[in-house]
Structures are given as C-alpha cells and as structure tokens.
Structure 1
C-alpha cells in the first residue's frame, strides 16, 4: 500500500523560484504541494495542516520568512522548515536555526542540496 502524500508548502514571492524548487524535489517523493507567494499565505496553509514540510524564502513582501518562523514558534512549530534563500550571511543562517528551521539551502536550489536534508530528517528515502 502506498504511503499517503506528504503535504508541503513552497513559500516564495517569486513564481520562478517556486517552480525551480518544485523541480528540485525528488521525482518519486509522494508529496502534495501547496504554494504561497508571501508569509501570510504560508501561515494560512500551515494552520490548515498543509505544511508537514515548508520550504521558506526569507525575503518576501507582507511578511518575511523570519516573521513566519517567529509566528510558528508561538504556535508550537510542528513542521520541518527548510529555509531557501539567496541571503547567505552567517547571521541570517544562525538566526533561522535559532527560530526553528531545520536547514538552510542557498538559491538556486538543487536536488543535490535537498536530498541529504530530506534523508537526514526521515522525510525521503
């Protein structure tokens, strides 16, 4: 019997970045993808149970990835949040870890960068 699909959210204000990330996911990974173009949409999807895993950009209008992580902490974060960002400053990386993100992946995202993280947390493979 097939395992149920894992609900994931890809949150990025760039349509292109959302597409690139979706293509970087393992082809045989059984997931149901929801897309968010800003932090508020990402939180709405999370609250609706659609984000067992969330791929989160840091720089978005309306609500940044940092603000989303802060909000998730107040709501007993029960999602694997993987930050995907071009902001590779050590301070940004340290801050997202402090706020509960399990990993930080630089843009542009590749499957080679994602696979070890997904396997490490038992999400794939």
Structure 2
C-alpha cells in the first residue's frame, strides 16, 4: 500500500531535500506544492496521508494552511518543517494540529524518529 505524501515549500531546494530524506516506504507517491494555495487545492481534492509543510511561503503561508484545514475539518498528520524555530511559533502550529515541528533543513534521524513516533515507520 502506498502512502500519499504532499510536500509544501516555496523553495525547490527544500522540497527536494525533504523528498530525498523520506524513507523508501513513503517516497512512492509524492506530490509537491510551491505555496499554501496549491497545497490546499490538492488537499481538498485528493486523499493525502501525510503533509510536510513549510511556514514562510507566498500566497498562503503555512499558518494559513493549518487554519484552513482546521476550519474545513480536514485532518491528516502534518509535520511542519521550518527555520522559524521560535517557541511561540512552535506552540502555535501544534495548537493548530501539527504532529511535529522539525527544524529546517530537516535532519534524517529526526525525521525518521518523528515518522516512527506517529506510526509511519
């Protein structure tokens, strides 16, 4: 069974880095979004099993995505990957339903620990 993964980040380099960090079991069906608006379009129209979400993006930022998903009742495991590591921001994304807050650039061992903790490995 494949896992439908969405990686949302405005940086092509960051999207590729997250994709390359995914374990083989999660890297078979991956979609990419450049901003929150693209991510929301995908999330509203397709079954996505896990979302990796940046916070600082144009059009709709990561907080906007989290708020929209919560308001629309769309639930899925969300792993925020951001360089904005202020405790207030970390608390905010967790309040909005994120499973974990990972520092950018994502470290392979930290990513795997979090995926394992949430039943993806």
After TM superposition, the runs of 4+ consecutive aligned structure 1 residues lying more than 4 A away are: none
1:105 to 99, 102, 105: 102
Taking the TM superposition and a 5 Å limit, the aligned residue runs for 1:26-105 are 26-29=23-26, 31-105=28-102
**Cα deviation per residue 1:45-82 (whole Å; 9 max; x = unaligned)?**
11122421000000000001000000000121321000
Distance in 2, Cα, partners of 1:78 & 1:30: 21
Paired residues, number: 121
More displaced stretch, 60-69 vs 44-53: 44-53
Q: TM-score, normalization: structure 1?
A: 0.92
Distance in 2, Cα, partners of 1:30 & 1:19: 11
Q: Where in structure 2 are there 5+ consecutive unaligned residues?
A: none
Greater helix content? 2
Q: Where in structure 1 are there 5+ consecutive unaligned residues?
A: none
Distance in 2, Cα, partners of 1:70 & 1:57: 14
Secondary structure of 1:79's aligned partner: coil
Distance in 2, Cα, partners of 1:33 & 1:113: 20
Q: TM-score, normalization: structure 2?
A: 0.95
1:28, CA displacement in angstroms? 3.8
